[in-house]
Amino acid sequence: MASTTAPVELLAGDAITTPEEKPWQVILRRFKKHRLAVVSTVVMAIIFLVSIFAQQIAPFEPEELTVGNYFLPAGSVQESTGRVHYLGTDNIGRDYFSRLIYAGRISLTVAVTSVIVSTLIGVAVGAYSGYYGGWVDSLLMRFVEFMLTIPFLPLLLILSSMLLRNENLIPIPEPVLRVAGQIMLLSTRDARQAVVIIIVLAGTGWLTSARLMRGMVLSLRGQTFAEAAQALGASNARIIFTHMIPNAMAPIIVEATLALAGYIIAEAALSFLGFGIQDPVPTWGNMLAATQGFMFDRPWLPLIPGFPIFLCSLAFNFIGDGLRDALDPRLKM
């Protein structure tokens, strides 16, 4: 009898001592199974690190001209200093590799900041609308639906054109411009262009987050934990910020990650069309625009700024896809 119960007791002991995975460990384990998402995370980490240390990595200043050295081939060496033009030079003698790194710092900062600001606005509006309902919900959601009917790119072009040409429409505090300039390695005057683009992108990009958060809050506010919090006397603000928003953040995180790709393309499109950050400040968009007149003779030129745009957009989409699988509670992995 003892021999038959011993294995059962051993198995029971093993089951009891098995450590339980924490939620973040479960998410990480699921995310690791999406190999393209893992590779994309590594790629984006490298791009961010290169952009952060742009001053240390770039062999030239982004606006430094070399008279007479126009369209030098990749790998050319500057005789006077021995510095290498790893990707050659542009039509006025500026180093492509250095400008590409500095452009990445500016374009990624604009995209990431726009996503953070637009997500915060969308989360606040959507949570307030979904929790209170009634005329507040109707008013906010009708405004959101009206804004979503307007074509996105023409709206961006109109707003950016108005704000860039008239500095009095939205006065930006000097401390904000100084901080933005330090982050993007720009002067205060040039930093204003980047801040304006962030305002335009964030001001039009919160609509999707608001609708998504509203739907999540509508599904959560009738559940037991929300009713229990109300019965215990918790205020509406405490219920929204302590219970509703944290429990609804999984799809918001996925949406924000996927939106990063859209913001990078939107910023590049504005700069490409001349309604964004202007040359000589380097961004991937205006670097791409500068190659238009030379692409038939040198068809590889658009690939230099175009490849990072493509790579970042693809990587953010794969990361968002991996996070969607990792954060889905219905998925058994």
On the question of pLDDT at 18 being above 70, the answer is: no
Percent of the chain with pLDDT over 90: 48
pLDDT computed for residue 331 by the predictor? 60
DSSP string, 271-313: HHTTSSSPTTS--HHHHHHHTGGGTTT-TTTTHHHHHHHHHHH
Whole-number pLDDT of residue 1: 45
Quick one: pLDDT at residue 161?
A: 87
Q: How confident is the model at residue 332 (pLDDT cuts 50, 70, 90)?
A: low
pLDDT tens digits along 164-219: 888 788 888 999 999 999 999 898 888 999 999 999 999 999 999 999 999 999 88
Q: What is the pLDDT of residues 210-261, one digit of tens each?
A: 999 999 998 888 788 888 888 888 888 888 888 889 888 888 999 999 999 9
Encoded amino acid at 80, one letter: S
User: Could you tell me which CATH class the domain 22-327 is placed in?
Assistant: mainly alpha
Residues 92, 13: Cα–Cα separation, whole Å: 74
* 27 — pLDDT class (breaks 50, 70, 90): confident
Domain ranges across the chain: 22-327
The H or E element containing residue 269 is helix 249-272
pLDDT at 103 over 60: yes
**pTM across the whole model:** 0.88
Give CA angle at 269 (268, 274), nearest 5°: 100
pLDDT at 255: 92
- Give the C-alpha separation, 96 to 71, whole Å: 10
Are 117 and 198 spatial neighbours (Cβ–Cβ below 8 Å)? yes
> What is the per-residue pLDDT for 329?
65
